[in-house]
Amino acid sequence: MNTQDIVITIASIIISISLIPQVILGFQTKTGPVSYWTSIPYALSLTAVGLSFASLQLWLSTIVTAITVILWFILAIQKFIYTKK
């Protein structure tokens, strides 16, 4: 494990933690609080970043980035489900 992996992992954890209240808010209010123009490009871009981390064997960064990608996709799915009604 190298220093870059630790720094990227810590930053990604902070980003993930900051998304959790947004995901919870979406479930509580039954709304899609984040637009598609934010959630989908962000999730796809982070997927590319995560794959890059994996190719560099920055495994902690890869795992935490994957969690962040999942949270962004949850926000996109909330938008889809709750605005469909």
C-alpha to C-alpha distance for 31 and 27, rounded to whole angstroms:
7
Q: Domain-by-domain residue ranges, the chain?
A: 3-83
Question: 33 pLDDT exceeds 90?
Answer: no
**Hey, which CATH number is domain 3-83, 3.30.410, 1.20.1280, 1.10.3470, 2.60.40?**
1.20.1280
pLDDT above 90 for 49: yes
Please state the pTM of the whole predicted model.
0.90
* DSSP summary character for residue 15: H
DSSP string, 28-75: HHTS--S-HHHHHHHHHHHHHHHHHHHHTT-HHHHHHHHHHHHHHHHH
| Arithmetic mean of pLDDT, 64-72 | 96
**pLDDT at residue 84 greater than cutoff 80:** no
pLDDT band at 52 (very low <50, low <70, confident <90, very high): very high
Tens digits of residue pLDDT in 8-17: 999 999 999 9
